[in-house]
Structure 1
Amino acid sequence: MKAVVVSEAGGPEKLVYQELPTPQVKPGWSLVKVMGFGINHSEIFTRQGLSPSVEFPRILGIEAVGVVKESTDEARLPEGGKVVSIMGEMGRDFDGGYAEYVLLPNEQIYPVTTDLTWEELATIPETYYTAFGSLKMLRVKESDRILVRGGTSGVGIAFLNLVKGRYPNIEIDGTSRNMVKKEMLQKAGFSDVMEDRDGELQTDKKYDKIFELIGPATVKNSFEHILEEGIVCSTGQLGGQWYLEEFDPIFDTKKGYLTGFPSSDVSSAQMNELLDYISKYGIRVKPEKIFSLEETAKAHAYLESSHSFGKVIILN
């Protein structure tokens, strides 16, 4: 099979497209033919050597969509069935989705029922699953005023689509550090765009709900813009900081609530709940950029660049 392998930490050029033996099934594991997958910021961090537990060489990829090629659990995972896999230790402790085939633990393979194209389905797993789980944690209502901090990210755009698909007239603003992207964000559906400059929002506006994708680096500032009894859901860590520092939960929460959503909490039922929501509300699911497996290094370079926007996927 063809696969993309990282043998040592570094830049996108360390993602090498090469031929490897197709994995052989073993008890409790099944082989999936990969039809596509999304590129995620966590994979960039791993490629850069910022995931201490990961040893190279490694095939990266914390998600994949495809069909079961060889099964060791025919009752739950019949050969030819559509499946999704995300998270666990995929692409970290064992080889992940950056390949034509991936060998996965059966408990980490989730059968799905959907008529979506492979392009659409490949756009969904980690990105839309994270956005959907966060939407539920935020308890979004039609009357809410919402801010997406990190609006240009794939998860930010996914969240926008999920919310606007159900509540077309809701007020939902986005942020960007690069205001050149303002028109792109408004075209995507955001009501307004706020500049995020050096971790400070350049606005006096306050919101009922803030979807925080920059993470611990800006959570404290986000609470400066939350209304009383509002909710901040910190899900992303695009700011490169993993833990809250110099944060007083008594005073800095401003009588609001802080929550989060761990996208590692996955089940087939929850994945199909997301797909049902997308179908019910006619949610637009479309990647911003599509690359081939051979172009994975280019996909990483694009996602790291200053002009990246939305979800980037690979189709086999």
Structure 2
Amino acid sequence: MHAIVVSATGGPEVLTYQECPEPELNPGDVLVDVAASGVNFIDVYHRMGRYPLSLPFTPGNEGAGTVAAVGEDVQGLSVGDKVAWANVTGSYAEKVVVPASHLLAVPDGVAPEVAAAVTLQGLTAHYLTHSVHEVKAGDDVLVHAAAGGMGLLLTQIAKLRGARVIGTVSTEEKEELARQAGADEVLRYKGFADAVRDLTGSGVHVVYDGVGASTFEESLASLRPRGMMALYGQASGPVPPVDPQVLARGGSLFLTRPSLGAYIATREELAWRASDIYGWLADGRLRVHISRRYPLAEASRAHEDLEARRTTGKLLLVP
């Protein structure tokens, strides 16, 4: 089989397409033929060494496919079942071994490519809107990168919960995508904090910020007193150290740096979030915008496009 292997951290060029032995199946594991792998910014952080992994490694934290074999002690899964997973490294491959406890059954109404495109970001959008800050009807919500894969999902889910969504984007094309997803207002990044205050009067209830360094200070300035800043990523770079007194001056603000693993810590929590996401997909209340599909061998090009912000929606690698 073939897989992408990183032997040394660095730029997209370190993503090499190699022939590899088929992964070994241990008790409790499932071997999956990969239909598609999702491309996410966490994969970039792993490739760069920002979130270190032991070398060499196969990147990719999300995918979907068909069960090819099941290990001992696996119950409830059979060869031929359609499954998806998230938060499991090694997905940039033709075959992957996934612990059965991390696998999700893909409903008949959801295509495998769609499951590969939505699972990691959908689970993330769910915990951000349901647990980090439980979005309520009438909330004002600021979503950065509103035309990206995460931004489009956050916008739709916040709208399902009755919020007014203000999105930020960099181009007219991206503005149109954000509006199609339900964004009520769409702003450019320059001076967005002032624009947010003009729109809301007192600021937003929550900011969902996956951009990081370039937006952080204005994001805090966009919050109303006791508002929540959810910094879930750092696409523009890490945020410098923060003086907690800044939160007091802003009106007793809340700041969190959440991660998916902490919000799918139990099988019950993982199943709850996935059930909601797949259910909304199946009944048409949630849509996934797959922007581009790349052959697995062109993983480096997918990373180049993602980092250069040349894309909207979701990127997939297809073996």
**TM-score range normalised by the length of the shorter chain:** 0.7 to 0.9
Partner SS, residue 67 of structure 1 = strand
CA distance in 2: counterparts of 1:26 and 1:183, whole angstroms = 47
Task: Report Cα offsets for 1:13-65 as digits up to 9, x if no partner.
Answer: 2222222221121223221111112101111122123233x233211111121
Change (3 A) 1:160 1:300: same
CA distance in 1: counterparts of 2:76 and 2:177, whole angstroms = 43
CA distance in 2: counterparts of 1:112 and 1:70, whole angstroms = 17
Corresponding position: 1:194 with 2:187: yes
What is the percent sequence identity of the aligned residues? 27
Change (3 A) 1:294 1:250: closer
Using the TM superposition, give the Cα deviation of residue 253 of structure 1 relative to its aligned residue in structure 2, in angstroms: 4.6
In the alignment, what sits opposite 1:230? 227
Using the TM superposition, give the Cα deviation of residue 235 of structure 1 relative to its aligned residue in structure 2, in angstroms: 2.0
Task: Report Cα offsets for 1:245-275 as digits up to 9, x if no partner.
Answer: 2232651452344445421132341322322
Unaligned runs of 5+ in 1: none
Larger mean Cα displacement after TM superposition, 269-278 or 171-180: 171-180
Letter in 1 for 2:134: R
Corresponding position: 1:176 with 2:179: no
**Matched residue pairs, number?**
306
CA distance in 2: counterparts of 1:37 and 1:165, whole angstroms = 27
Using the TM superposition, give the Cα deviation of residue 155 of structure 1 relative to its aligned residue in structure 2, in angstroms: 0.9
Contact 2:27 2:74 in 1 (8 A): no
Corresponding position: 1:262 with 2:256: no
Corresponding position: 1:133 with 2:133: no
CA distance in 2: counterparts of 1:175 and 1:294, whole angstroms = 33
Partner SS, residue 156 of structure 1 = helix
| Paired residues for 1:293-312 under 5 Å | 293-312=296-315
Contact 1:200 1:218 in 2 (8 A): no
Using the TM superposition, give the Cα deviation of residue 183 of structure 1 relative to its aligned residue in structure 2, in angstroms: 4.2
Corresponding position: 1:29 with 2:29: yes
In the alignment, what sits opposite 2:91? 97
Larger mean Cα displacement after TM superposition, 14-23 or 250-259: 250-259
Contact 1:12 1:297 in 2 (8 A): yes
Alignment match of 1:123 (pick from 91, 95, 117)? 117
CA distance in 1: counterparts of 2:228 and 2:282, whole angstroms = 27
CA distance in 2: counterparts of 1:37 and 1:106, whole angstroms = 18
Change (3 A) 1:184 1:109: closer
Using the TM superposition, give the Cα deviation of residue 303 of structure 1 relative to its aligned residue in structure 2, in angstroms: 0.6
| Paired residues for 1:1-316 under 5 Å | 1-52=1-52, 54-72=53-71, 73-87=73-87, 90-91=88-89, 96-137=90-131, 138-165=133-160, 167=162, 170-176=163-169, 181-197=174-190, 201=193, 203=195, 204-205=197-198, 206-215=203-212, 218-241=215-238, 244-248=241-245, 251-259=248-256, 261-264=258-261, 265-266=263-264, 267=267, 268-270=270-272, 271-280=274-283, 282-316=285-319
Partner SS, residue 85 of structure 1 = strand
Contact 1:173 1:194 in 2 (8 A): yes
Give the TM-score of the pair, scaled to structure 2. 0.84
CA distance in 2: counterparts of 1:149 and 1:84, whole angstroms = 27
Task: Report Cα offsets for 1:207-261 as digits up to 9, x if no partner.
Answer: 2332222247644532322223433333222242267522326514523444454
Query: Which one has a larger percent helix, Structure 1 or Structure 2?
Result: 2
Partner SS, residue 245 of structure 2 = coil
Using the TM superposition, give the Cα deviation of residue 110 of structure 1 relative to its aligned residue in structure 2, in angstroms: 3.1
Unaligned runs of 5+ in 2: none
Partner SS, residue 241 of structure 1 = coil
Contact 1:196 1:202 in 2 (8 A): no
Change (3 A) 1:262 1:55: closer
Change (3 A) 1:220 1:148: same
Using the TM superposition, give the Cα deviation of residue 129 of structure 1 relative to its aligned residue in structure 2, in angstroms: 0.9
Change (3 A) 1:187 1:279: closer
Q: CA RMSD in A?
A: 2.7
CA distance in 2: counterparts of 1:278 and 1:253, whole angstroms = 38
Task: Report Cα offsets for 1:53-87 as digits up to 9, x if no partner.
Answer: x2332111111212221112442332222222211
Task: Report Cα offsets for 1:141-168 as digits up to 9, x if no partner.
Answer: 231222102323321111112233554x
CA distance in 2: counterparts of 1:77 and 1:253, whole angstroms = 51
